[in-house]
Amino acid sequence: QAKALDRLAARLGGGLTSEPLVARQGDGLGPEALDEITRRRPSGVVLFSLETVQHHHLIDLDALQRCWACGGVLGLLVENLTFTDPSGFAAFADYASAMNLVRRRDRSVDWLELVNLVGR
């Protein structure tokens, strides 16, 4: 994974500066890891996948924003996405927010009851 992240960083004009930080599956990057990224003052951030900033079933929009803000360059390896301009990142952040709304809806009791009624 580190080699693939380094290749993505190279495509974006950079490289990995140190050992990658690891996010626990389902927990995403914690505040300490985000603080460490900020402390390193990178010119951009590459993430293995969007799940890297996902807590349980929701994307942590604040963590995503913090990663972007570090250098104004963000790469997502698994999704094969790169953002190098504010408008592109803003559109993706809107998409991620919409994903969270759908995921919340899909887990709601009201939605499950409606789906069960329609499916009868």
Report the chain's mean pLDDT, rounded to a whole number. 90
What is this structure's pTM? 0.84
45 Cβ partners below 8 Å, 6+ apart?
A: 37, 67, 68, 70, 71, 73, 74, 75
- Interhelix angle 61-69/86-107, rounded to 10 degrees, is 170
CB 42 within 8 A of CB 36: no
CB 85 within 8 A of CB 57: no
**pLDDT tens-digit map of 11-45:** 999 998 877 888 887 788 989 999 999 999 999 99
CB 100 within 8 A of CB 93: no
The secondary structure of residue 26, as a DSSP letter, is T
Residue 94 pLDDT class (50, 70, 90 cuts): very high
